[in-house]
Amino acid sequence: CKEYYPEAMATDNYKQILERDDIEVLDIATHPEVRTQLIEDALKAGKHVLSQKPFVTDLDIGERLVKMAKEKNRKLAVNQNGRWAPHFSYIRQAVNQGLIGDVMAAHLAVHWDHGWTADTAFNEIDHLILYDFAIHWFDMLCCIMGGREPKRVYATRARAPEQKAKPPLLAQVVVEYDKAQATLVFDGAVKYGPHDSTIVLGTKGGIRSSGPDLSTQQVVLHTDAGCASPELKGEWFVEGFHGAMAELLSAIEEDREPSNSADNNLQSLALCFAAVASAEEGVPKAPGKVRKTLP
């Protein structure tokens, strides 16, 4: 801080920040277990808030924070930065604009090496894949489905041969909708030939995105008019984080709800919590019925 930002204020007492009138927006990036109190205090102090994901570990607490933000007339958003990854951003906007009609199927799959977590604090998160990692994909699925309520979720997980990490690195999810279906596959122990793909199929067209990783993707849109492949610019780990905060700031300026509002994010969390509970108990779960994630 002294080397790069010598005039910056650095403190371990967050209440000193809340007292400053020249700070209007807080980016709260702590772990979930301490974040709730920080968000509450920030809203009471009249600040707008961007919360790190996952937003909360209890849907009841999330609903209470959403209500508080509305009562205080403050904007509360969640840093679901995957929405602004270039390929996900294009898919999201294409679906929202009706380019492929009504979505009837979505299949998202990631095959990569998540074994680097073995020597980190992430190694202590039992449902590391479905809870900490897959929250981006649950959130993206909710965006693709346009807020349609999922009926049931069935998820499984397994340890990969020779994996060193404590949490199982393999997981898969099936989601049932009225007149639609979705699957999510997470192969987190792939050391050779990593690949990422997203397929969204609708009544008027389809979108396919694929590549060796999340930063290198090619998107193809198919409709009656033919096929088109947009030129994607940027990467997830720059534009994604910029997009989440920029959307909040734009919403404040325009006095509207941000598209990544905490209220909007509750459906993504409900889907995630149901998947974790399903993988733990081995039975399908209804999103919204599972109110808390596992400890």
Of the two residues 295 and 241, the one the predictor is more confident about is 241
Q: Residues for the chain: how many in total? A: 295
pLDDT in tens, 158-168: 999 999 999 99
For residue 143 the two structure tokens come to 């965006």
Residue 6: per-residue pLDDT: 87
Strand order in the sheet with 25-28: 25-28, 48-51, 76-78
- Taking every pair of Cα atoms in the chain, the longest distance, rounded to a whole number of angstroms, is 59
Sign of torsion over alpha carbons 116, 183, 59, 77 = positive
What's phi and psi for 108, nearest 5 deg? -115, 130
> Taking the model in full, what pTM does it have?
0.95
Least confident piece of the model among 9-13, 81-85, 140-144: 9-13
Residue 13: per-residue pLDDT: 95
CB-CB contact of 128 with 114 (8 Å): yes
Residue 1: per-residue pLDDT: 67
pLDDT in tens, 183-217: 999 999 999 999 999 999 999 999 999 999 999 99
pLDDT at 294 exceeding the cut of 90 = no
Nearest 10 degrees: Cα torsion 199, 171, 52, 66:
80
pLDDT at 3 exceeding the cut of 90 = no
Question: 174: closest CA among 146, 143, 209, 138?
Answer: 138
Residue 115: per-residue pLDDT: 97
Cα separation, 210 vs 5, in Å, equals 40
- What is the share, in percent, of the chain residues with pLDDT greater than 70? 99
Going by pLDDT thresholds of 50, 70 and 90, the confidence category of residue 66 is very high
Cα separation, 116 vs 114, in Å, equals 5
Residue 57: per-residue pLDDT: 96
pLDDT in tens, 218-265: 999 999 999 999 999 999 999 999 999 999 999 999 999 999 999 999
Mean pLDDT across the chain, nearest whole number?
A: 96
Strand partners, 170: 158, 187
- What is the share, in percent, of the chain residues with pLDDT greater than 90? 95
Going by pLDDT thresholds of 50, 70 and 90, the confidence category of residue 293 is very high
pLDDT in tens, 108-155: 999 999 999 999 999 999 999 999 999 999 999 999 999 899 999 999
